[in-house]
Structure 1
């Protein structure tokens, strides 16, 4: 499995791999909604952005992450970020995460469009498993992940320590290669409904 670091796009979004020219747009898109950031493992808001950005670029250089700016095609605005990360070619698996959208971009087609592109890119590259994890307290995120077609696999207790110091339980979901045709078709139907 080799997942290429390339832009991905459909009629709703363009996912652009991080590079220096995107830094200011990404910073601006993430500098909002402190309540949402407080619940996340790491923060990229305000003073936390530069360290978060450098960490993403470092992981990209070593090949364990592809971090993307999410550009909304309707107005060309960067409205958030998402990543393929924990990329493990030996096990042909990765995760989708480090996802944050501006509040006005959290409904409609943005999330299913991003997930359709990321899942397709990973499975086309030979992945057999793509995980999507979230805070076990985040019911909204879990509902969105299930709506994508991922299967719930359980909860990892005290799995991560958040940037605020809270021991986080993590809800684990996955799509495996056997599931992908059905998940893909479901996402395509959802996206077609947006006209």
Structure 2
């Protein structure tokens, strides 16, 4: 598995790997809705942004993450971020996560379009497993992951510590290469409805 950090795009979004030129746009996109960050390991709003950004850039340099700015194609605005991370070529797996969208970008085509692009990039480049995890308390995120067609694999108790210090239970989902054709078909159907 080899995941190159390239631009991914479709009719709805353009996913641009982080560069210094994107930093201010990403900062502006993430500096909202502080409560939405509560279940995350790291926060990226306000004073938390610099440390979060630096950690993302460091992980990209190490090859363990590709962090993307999510640009909405309809108006060119950066409306969030998402990543391929925990990249493990030796096991042919990675995770999709560290996803945050501005409130006005939630609930439409943005998330399924991003997931379609990321999953296709992973599976087209040799992945056999893509994991998606979320805080076990985040019911909305779990519903969105299930809607993608990911298989729920269980809850990892006290799996991570959030930036607020809470020991977080993590709901774990995965999509396998065997699942991908059906998941892709369903995502394509959903996205056609937004076109």
Q: Measure the CA separation in 1 of the matches of 2:185 and 2:174.
A: 16
Q: CA deviation at 1:114?
A: 0.1
Q: Measure the CA separation in 1 of the matches of 2:93 and 2:40.
A: 23
Q: Measure the CA separation in 2 of the matches of 1:86 and 1:166.
A: 22
Moved over 4 A (4+): none
1:194 alignment partner in structure 2: 194
1:21 alignment partner in structure 2: 21
1:50 alignment partner in structure 2: 50
Q: Measure the CA separation in 1 of the matches of 2:115 and 2:78.
A: 16
Q: Measure the CA separation in 1 of the matches of 2:71 and 2:100.
A: 12
Question: Tell me, what secondary structure is at the counterpart of 2:194?
Answer: coil
Q: CA deviation at 1:37?
A: 1.4
1:145 alignment partner in structure 2: 145
Q: CA deviation at 1:173?
A: 0.2
Q: Measure the CA separation in 2 of the matches of 1:39 and 1:57.
A: 22
1:82 alignment partner in structure 2: 82
Question: Tell me, what secondary structure is at the counterpart of 2:157?
Answer: strand
Question: Tell me, what secondary structure is at the counterpart of 1:115?
Answer: helix
| Unaligned ranges ≥5, structure 2 | none
Q: TM-score, normalised by structure 2?
A: 0.99
Q: Measure the CA separation in 2 of the matches of 1:5 and 1:42.
A: 22
Q: TM-score, normalised by structure 1?
A: 0.99
**Count of residues in Structure 1 that have an aligned counterpart in Structure 2:** 195
- Over the aligned positions, Cα root-mean-square deviation in angstroms equals 0.5
1:5 alignment partner in structure 2: 5
Question: Tell me, what secondary structure is at the counterpart of 1:79?
Answer: strand
